[in-house]
Chain A
Amino acid sequence: MFTMLNIHREVCGYCGACVSVCPEGALELIDAYLSVSDACVNCGICARVCPLGALEVTNEE
């Protein structure tokens, strides 16, 4: 089992609030598209601050 950051693109408002709190610099906003790099450690800080709830750290099989 492993954890991963999921982006609900239909919810994302591409505002960049998540980018500004990411301790690893793993998030990048490319116009209306939020990208996650390998640097992501699934800490979930971005998921907490998202004003819309577009980010979620989930357990995957």
Chain B
Amino acid sequence: MKSEYDVLVVGGGPGGAMAAKAAVEAGLSACIIEKRPAIGTPVRCAEGVGEELLTEFIDPDPRWIAAKIDGARIIAPDGGELNLAPDMAGNEVGYVLDRKIFDRELVWKAAEAGADVFVKARAVDAIVEDGLVRGAIVEYMGSRKEVRAMVTIAADGVESKFARWCGIDTAIPLAELETCAQYLMTDIDIDPGLTVFYLGNEVAPEGYVWVFPKGERRANVGIGISGKKSGNGHRARDYLDTFVRRHFPEGKIIELIVGGVSVCRPLPCTVANGLIMVGDAARLSDPITGGGIYNAMYTGNLAGKVAADCIGKGDVNREALAVYDRTWRESTMGKAIERNYKIKEYFITLDDEKLNMLINSAKKIKMDKFSTLTLVRELIQHNPKMLVELQALKKSLG
């Protein structure tokens, strides 16, 4: 590990890998430090990603695609089913990945492009001089050393400690942290081409249960619930066990996966002097689905490019790096996060009766091309009893 790089990337997930790759491809030196002893493990993810989104950055490879998904099904609290064809389901249809392989592939690509990579190398503090982030103190092989950089990219996931050490409050509000538990199950009866989402305050309060296929008879079966609904005897794992007993009593559990996903708005500013925050660390997971793979890849790639541009111009201050913040906020992804945040805020107010009404009425809606606004407009037509609240939602979406 050198003591100085152009770009230091804290975290070796999809965001960090894309950032390092983009930086070295722009002619910079870059180093990824990953505190875990292996890239890609332990998995903290349901592993679903939209097809169009993923293929923006990488060609699909059977080595890390566990399943190709052709449709999605939403199950209402009363058991009513809403089937979404691929063009309706949008980003919820695509691939279920094998993150252990996928994450490695992305880091390999960054390394092949010229980035340094170190595992079991943990940032323990930020180096901040005159209000400028200048790298990290890194604990590696039993000793601590300074690794200095022109730009440091915080890609340290949901924990998001690095930005905190730089003085930025990244704490997720209790109500906006989805606490999650998932089993990788085998020997279960599923449709291998269909992702299934179960809604309802008894099944998953302010969250959902997902069944994401990973082959003919295996799937990620998981749940996320709001932190404020979690407590002794009613934690994510308790709800998951109840669900599994009911739906897959004969299934075998071959992996337990736990984690947290933010469903808050992104951080108000995702850059500081010498610092860019990407992916989950910047609170960029989707507030409805919790999906964050693409968002991390997109912002990681953008961060690497912006870092290169700013280093080239000799200015890495917050104002110069702010082009990163503006670009993602104005992007399709940024707009989708803002829109989905508002929809999520509305959905968590719904009791099961209203959820049933909305989901069951959505079955009757025919759309040539999926659009959130068209959907809300149609829902208003079909649910006169919910006119006022749905109109308020429509208005908030602009």
- Residues of chain A at the chain B interface (Cβ within 8 Å): 13-23, 25, 28-31, 45, 48-53
Selected from B44, B173, B174, B258, the residue in CB contact (under 8 A) with A52 is B258
Q: B235 at interface (Cβ–Cβ under 8 A)?
A: yes
Q: Tell me whether A51 and B37 are in contact (CB under 8 A).
A: no
Selected from A20, A29, A31, A50, the residue in CB contact (under 8 A) with B235 is A50
User: Among the interface residues A15, A22, A52, which one has the most CB atoms of the partner chain B within 10 A?
Assistant: A15
Q: Tell me whether B35 and A15 are in contact (CB under 8 A).
A: no
- Which residues of B from 190 to 221 have beta carbons under 8 Å from A? none
Q: Tell me whether B35 and A20 are in contact (CB under 8 A).
A: no
Q: Tell me whether B235 and A51 are in contact (CB under 8 A).
A: yes
Q: B12 at interface (Cβ–Cβ under 8 A)?
A: no
Binding stretch for chain A, among B110-118, B156-164, B346-354: B156-164
Tell me which residues across on chain A come within 8 A of B172, comparing CB atoms: 20-21
Tell me which residues across on chain B come within 8 A of A29, comparing CB atoms: 159
Q: Tell me whether B258 and A13 are in contact (CB under 8 A).
A: yes
A18→B231 CA distance, assembly (Å): 13
Selected from A13, A25, A45, the residue in CB contact (under 8 A) with B174 is A45
- Which residues of B from 121 to 174 have beta carbons under 8 Å from A? 122, 157-161, 164, 170-174
Q: Tell me whether B230 and A49 are in contact (CB under 8 A).
A: yes
Q: Tell me whether A21 and B164 are in contact (CB under 8 A).
A: no
A22→B311 CA distance, assembly (Å): 34
User: Among the interface residues B159, B256, B262, which one has the most CB atoms of the partner chain A within 10 A?
Assistant: B159
Binding stretch for chain A, among B78-86, B175-183, B315-323, B337-345: B175-183
Q: B236 at interface (Cβ–Cβ under 8 A)?
A: yes
Tell me which residues across on chain B come within 8 A of A18, comparing CB atoms: 260
Tell me which residues across on chain A come within 8 A of B180, comparing CB atoms: 17, 51
